[in-house]
Structure 1
Amino acid sequence: MDTDFWLQKWEKNEIAFHASKPNPVLVAYFKELKLVEESRVFLPLCGKTLDIAWLLSQGYRVAGAELSQLAIEHLFLGLGLEPKISKLGNVSRYSATNIDIFVGDIFDLSHEVLGRVDAIYDRAALIALPEEVRNRYAKHLLEITDTAEQLMISLEYDRSLMNGPPFSVDSDEVNRHYKDAYNLKLLESRSIPGGLKGICAATENAWLLKKD
């Protein structure tokens, strides 16, 4: 994973990927995970997403992993929370009531450090990674979360027209990564208005990954 690329994006404030409101897929479909209140939801490569504030407002606990310390400082500032910071091996944990964000390389995050996870919300983690890293990421995610069920968003587009990030991850690849661990259900597939970055047509897919 090109850590310098993402750190520079945050340092230069080149964060067009940061949405200004909670993701509509999250709001529409998170209930499909059938979680009880105070369930702990893990957001890999979370940035300072407003989805975290939405999840907290719904009564869930949140855990996240993010490479950029700057992003997480902005996250807690936006939440109006003062984090308690502790060093755990190669990652730092920023904690406040109902929230724990682990800052560092996600591959340095272990199951023991992360703790219990009841569900995963992958808005843009898998598609943020190049092809050569995605297989490793998917396996690691299952390991550190004990194969928690997922709500996941992926993108598909013509790779000959542009390269990521975000990267195109088609349905065959999603199945290749996760079919042995979950039953996969495509909840929604929609064309992105105006295309991806105005360059090419793209489709956003919302997936439910369940174990039953």
Structure 2
Amino acid sequence: MKADFWHEKWHSNEIGFDQAKVNPLLQQHFAVLELTPGSKVFVPLCGKSIDMVWLLEQGMHVVGVELSEDAIKRFFAAIEVAPAIAEVDGFKCYQAEQLTIYVGDIFALKTKHVGDIAVTYDRASLVALPEEMRLNYCQHLRQITSGAPQLLITFDYDQSAQDGPPFSISASEVAHHYANHYAIKLLASVPVKGGLKGGCDALEELRLLQ
């Protein structure tokens, strides 16, 4: 899946993956992490997720990365914040209080950019990638976050019933990517109301990788 695919999605406003409300599973289970104010939460492929606003409200320092600059411009416009913008190692870096977002390819991001991450919140990143990209993504994510724990949200559904993204990620695939590095705990598995993309029966699942 190439960069042009996502740029076109944002350009044409085909962003059904974007949520109007904070993810309930994040709200219900975030406390299990026992983070202190100022802890860094990394949000890969963050888009303009409102979840980042909620994390900021909990006193977290949010670090995101996103391919589409349009998405990041929309995010800051929505929260009515004027960010400082700088060029950093080929990225455009948008910064505000307790918030840093890099615009560019996540695979070019390094530990020096994200800093000391307390937890990765992956709601829309792994599920956005086709199967052939997921192994490299998971390895890269572990590397740049120095193996930080994760809150991972995935969808489980019959992939033959519809195309992704979001793609179906089974429990066995999560284990394939992460079981050698983390203890994996399923925190929640709930039906997607109205079905995925308005029709396909699916489960939304939250796991703690620690």
- Given residue 203 of structure 2, which amino acid in structure 1 is its aligned partner? T
Equivalent residue for 2:94? 94
- Given residue 171 of structure 2, which amino acid in structure 1 is its aligned partner? S
CA contact (8 A) 1:40 1:60 kept: yes
Aligned-pair CA distance for 1:199:
3.5
- Given residue 83 of structure 2, which amino acid in structure 1 is its aligned partner? P
Give RMSD over aligned pairs: 1.0
Equivalent residue for 1:175? 175
- Given residue 207 of structure 2, which amino acid in structure 1 is its aligned partner? W
Aligned-pair CA distance for 1:163:
1.6
Aligned-partner Cα distance in 2 for 1:94–1:198: 34
CA contact (8 A) 1:161 1:199 kept: no
CA contact (8 A) 1:192 1:204 kept: yes
* Structure 2 residue matching 1:173: 3-state secondary structure: helix
1:27 lines up with 2:27 in the alignment: yes
Aligned-partner Cα distance in 2 for 1:166–1:138: 16
Equivalent residue for 1:192? 192
Equivalent residue for 2:53? 53
* Structure 2 residue matching 1:47: 3-state secondary structure: coil
Aligned-pair CA distance for 1:48:
0.4
Deviations 1:163-193 (A, max 9, x none): 2000001000001111111110000111112
> Which structure 1 residue ranges, 4+ long, deviate > 6 Å from structure 2?
none
Gapped runs of 5+ residues in structure 1?
none
Equivalent residue for 2:8? 8
- Given residue 193 of structure 1, which amino acid in structure 2 is its aligned partner? K
CA contact (8 A) 2:42 2:114 kept: no
Gapped runs of 5+ residues in structure 2?
none
Equivalent residue for 2:153? 153
Deviations 1:41-67 (A, max 9, x none): 000000001111111111111000100
Output the TM-score relative to the length of structure 1.
Answer: 0.96
Aligned-pair CA distance for 1:129:
0.2
CA contact (8 A) 1:65 1:102 kept: yes
Equivalent residue for 2:166? 166
Aligned-pair CA distance for 1:90:
2.4
